[in-house]
Structure 1
């Protein structure tokens, strides 16, 4: 007689074997910046060590584009040469910032790893920023050198930036050739030394620089190795194997986001997998051809990209049989949207996963498997390994499961804080190193469900847009008395940016004039596409705050 097996009990036993005493991903408690929390016992101690070890993967693909291919050995040699050049030619040392302002390219990745070899801090600036935003970011991070692509180099003309600028098209190849054959620098760093700064829009109206440590990114590598081991255990493989992974990951989000940098480029260097970089504006046919040609196995797409696939006339004309994991990331998606994906896209039927995370925590807080999404539509899954989640009330006290409150998380993935912003850091990371996300949700069946986003946040095609930054920009216009920016539902982007503008008495202004004014000062995705121009004052409460719920376009 066949013995029945409880799937959940079997999964729990496998996980216990991997993370228990003597397991390859054994967890034990340690002090992390004053708080006790579970961490992996067997882990790397610096990103430079991960880079040094990666050359052993030799001729395997690390970075692939439509017209280029870079092996692990080639990448390691180029990163070593660039690191030596940065140190000897530009004086970059431990703790210095290396600014990177560019679209997705192999050189972006090289620049990041060269910085890590030096113990420097890689600063991923938003490549869609306008000159005004770039000027702010460079002044805020104060990099010792700024590495840019040609398009961004043209934006810098006329800016008074007191920093050496290196171009990816000309300067980097020259420096790598000049320092070819150099040994990789061996820099001593501590786990909690800063490694990278990524900018996230802030409610203060200025982007904030989330500072991630070596520990943060090494923990992400450990999480991805564990995930690979878990898959191996369920598919008859050896979860203890040190052999390089044959998985091939498609990168379609910007490298200045954690989705691409922290959760693709960085962990793959530790697992021997290939990263297939899509370049340029999103085109469904180009993406599908790349998946087919490179036998991509894993793709994390923002819902807007997935939505474009729903509009495609015939996805089935491409051989997408290699694609076994299709994740939605960076923005929430509805159960109805997920079901349409399953119906239209063959690879999504048994491969669709969803997750919840934010820049401040380096990776996902929770992940929903295909089974989770089918059984509990709308869920964002269980906390990932090493993450503790609590739902708290307005007084910071934990509430029972099923009760709505603010989502708070603690883990070795949580950022050090915001660069040069102690007040914002203290507001986000509270005693015990609990990160207060500002998002609201509930825990049901051990899984996280989101009920509301951060106050006023607009999610446009995977990009976080905070109204106050746009309002402050519009309020600079001489004809604008006040303004309010809100999110408006959009079938493709999820939300688009809408603005209500109150004109000063006796003055006039048109939508085109306001759009041009904003475009000169803000990244394109922040520029409102829906407008309402009025002479009526905005609705406000007793304390003078705008009542956004009473604003409509």
Structure 2
């Protein structure tokens, strides 16, 4: 009698071979910032090393847009020129910050890699920030130079920014022309030196800068290479896939696009095809057709909008991998994808991760996700995951608690915020995610996102930040911001505002006031103005569950 195939057991056996002694991805326990944890023995030690090796991919496409193509050779040459210019003209040195404030463009990627070539720290500012948020970010990380696109340059004109500003449309092309024979510098950096800062919304009302090291990003690359090897094992080959084409639809200031798409392609030799402009399902599907996209990681909101179209009108046969990223997805959405998108029938995956973790902490494969649609999977290679109670003790399987993660992917900490870093990362390098979950037979199930976090179309919105801005309005006595369900975006931002009198202000006035101070996605879409005080408990905290907007 033939023994039934158990994909989970097969994957475990293949992973053991790959990560065991002598394996291609052999794991060894080493000291990482004072904590013992598994890391890959055969690894690069810096992103500069990764960049230098990328020229081996030659004339293959690396970056592609609707009207531009850049090969790996062209990319390395442009990065060398830009790095030389930043060093010679603007004095950028190891450890300096290079700010990037722009929508998705090849120049965004060039600037990131030029910073790495110099041993500098790339700072990916949120391109959707309002001017006041931009001013805060620039002051917070003090970049030596700021690289922006034309739209953000216009916003900067409203601010007193005392930093050299280079535009992607005019200044960068001129700099590349000025240093045509430059070669990549060879700057020594330590594995645990900072490489990039990405901002995550702050529970205390201000965005926090998550600092990721060279070790973090190199480990992310190896994680993706390991996943490729594991997938190859299922087909009975040791050859890793090549010539894939990845669709980039999320902002480059997110780990989904930068750490987990653009950066690993420099090692795998695959193309990153960049969708530019706001998400338009028809344009994206046409791009998949034209560029023969093989891999796409989409936000649930994007998937929902795509399903509103008749997919039979598009040639999506090139897609071989599809994942749902950045926010939880419902069983209903997953099934609709399987029903209408051919690749989803056998290749739909999802994951759980956060900016502080650099990449996924868990991953749910196609078979397990189909059987358990509420799971976000099992810990990925190199990750140790525990569920802990409020005292920090590990709880039994099936018991709800805080998700805690330790791995070489976990950030160094928050830029210039020792208190927030200490609250998030324990002395033995466990990351307290603030998310609530349950482990069932090794599978993670989320039972709550960070305290009051609102997930709007894949973007994190913390109520405190919105409330603090609203409370600057003279007519607002107090307010509470909550998330309300939305079929398209997952959640919308809603505000209950307590005012002095019914005529003190209006929804339109408050909306405009907030839009002047916050990114558009943080501006409440629903409002209720009242003269009745907010509901509070015995300790004076607002009872958000009692709020109706």
Q: Please, what TM-score do these two structures have when normalized by structure 2?
A: 0.98
Structure 1 residue 341, shift from structure 2 partner: 1.5
Structure 1 residue 2, shift from structure 2 partner: 5.3
Structure 1 stretches of 4+ moved >6 Å: none
Matches of 1:229 and 1:137 in 2, distance apart?
A: 39
The superposition leaves residues 110-131 of structure 1 with CA deviations (integer Å, 9 ceiling, x where unpaired) of 0000000000000000000010
Whether contact under 8 Å (1:479, 1:507) holds in the other structure is: no
Q: Secondary structure at the match of 2:375?
A: coil
Structure 1 residue 270, shift from structure 2 partner: 1.1
1:326 to 307, 311, 322: 322
The superposition leaves residues 140-195 of structure 1 with CA deviations (integer Å, 9 ceiling, x where unpaired) of 01000000000000111131111000000000000011101201011000000000
Matches of 2:392 and 2:214 in 1, distance apart?
A: 29
Matches of 1:170 and 1:396 in 2, distance apart?
A: 53
Whether contact under 8 Å (1:458, 1:495) holds in the other structure is: yes
Matches of 1:539 and 1:384 in 2, distance apart?
A: 42
Whether contact under 8 Å (2:216, 2:358) holds in the other structure is: yes
Matches of 2:93 and 2:54 in 1, distance apart?
A: 22
Whether contact under 8 Å (2:405, 2:430) holds in the other structure is: yes
Match in the other structure for 2:281: 284
Match in the other structure for 2:354: 358
Matches of 1:80 and 1:445 in 2, distance apart?
A: 49
Match in the other structure for 1:128: 128
Match in the other structure for 2:497: 501
Matches of 1:10 and 1:348 in 2, distance apart?
A: 22
Structure 1 residue 347, shift from structure 2 partner: 2.1
Q: Secondary structure at the match of 1:236?
A: coil
1:511 to 495, 507, 517: 507
Q: Please show how residues 123-522 of structure 1 align to structure 2 within 5 Å.
A: 123-239=123-239, 245-312=242-309, 314-505=310-501, 508-522=504-518
Residue 58 of structure 2 corresponds to residue 61 of structure 1:
no
Structure 1 residue 333, shift from structure 2 partner: 0.9
Matches of 2:238 and 2:61 in 1, distance apart?
A: 22
Whether contact under 8 Å (2:11, 2:230) holds in the other structure is: no
Q: Secondary structure at the match of 2:123?
A: strand
Structure 1 residue 17, shift from structure 2 partner: 1.2
Residue 83 of structure 2 corresponds to residue 86 of structure 1:
no
Whether contact under 8 Å (2:100, 2:124) holds in the other structure is: yes
Matches of 1:6 and 1:484 in 2, distance apart?
A: 49
Q: Secondary structure at the match of 1:350?
A: helix
Structure 1 residue 14, shift from structure 2 partner: 1.3
Whether contact under 8 Å (2:131, 2:158) holds in the other structure is: no
Residue 3 and residue 152 in structure 1: after superposition, are their counterparts in 2 closer, same or farther (change >3 A)? Answer: same
Residue 3 and residue 356 in structure 1: after superposition, are their counterparts in 2 closer, same or farther (change >3 A)? Answer: closer
Matches of 1:66 and 1:298 in 2, distance apart?
A: 17
Structure 1 residue 4, shift from structure 2 partner: 5.2
Matches of 1:526 and 1:6 in 2, distance apart?
A: 45
Match in the other structure for 2:530: 534
Matches of 1:68 and 1:112 in 2, distance apart?
A: 19
Q: Tell me the C-alpha RMSD between the 2 structures.
A: 1.1
Q: Secondary structure at the match of 2:119?
A: coil
Matches of 2:5 and 2:403 in 1, distance apart?
A: 34
Matches of 2:87 and 2:376 in 1, distance apart?
A: 44
Matches of 1:541 and 1:495 in 2, distance apart?
A: 25
Unaligned runs of at least 5 residues, structure 1: none
Matches of 1:288 and 1:374 in 2, distance apart?
A: 25
Q: Secondary structure at the match of 2:391?
A: coil
Match in the other structure for 2:95: 95
Matches of 1:316 and 1:195 in 2, distance apart?
A: 43
Whether contact under 8 Å (2:453, 2:463) holds in the other structure is: yes
The superposition leaves residues 353-402 of structure 1 with CA deviations (integer Å, 9 ceiling, x where unpaired) of 11100000000010111101111120000100000000000111000011
Structure 1 residue 12, shift from structure 2 partner: 1.9
Matches of 1:415 and 1:78 in 2, distance apart?
A: 29
Whether contact under 8 Å (2:482, 2:494) holds in the other structure is: yes
Matches of 1:4 and 1:529 in 2, distance apart?
A: 52
Structure 1 residue 101, shift from structure 2 partner: 0.1
Q: Secondary structure at the match of 1:372?
A: helix
Unaligned runs of at least 5 residues, structure 2: none
Q: Which moved more, 1:11-20 or 1:141-150?
A: 11-20
Matches of 2:118 and 2:35 in 1, distance apart?
A: 29
Structure 1 residue 505, shift from structure 2 partner: 4.8
Q: Secondary structure at the match of 1:380?
A: strand
Q: Secondary structure at the match of 2:343?
A: helix
Structure 1 residue 251, shift from structure 2 partner: 0.3
Residue 523 of structure 2 corresponds to residue 524 of structure 1:
no
Structure 1 residue 541, shift from structure 2 partner: 1.6
Matches of 2:300 and 2:3 in 1, distance apart?
A: 41
Matches of 2:278 and 2:8 in 1, distance apart?
A: 42
Whether contact under 8 Å (2:388, 2:403) holds in the other structure is: yes
**Count of residue pairs brought into register by the alignment:** 549
Whether contact under 8 Å (1:224, 1:267) holds in the other structure is: yes
Q: Secondary structure at the match of 2:116?
A: helix
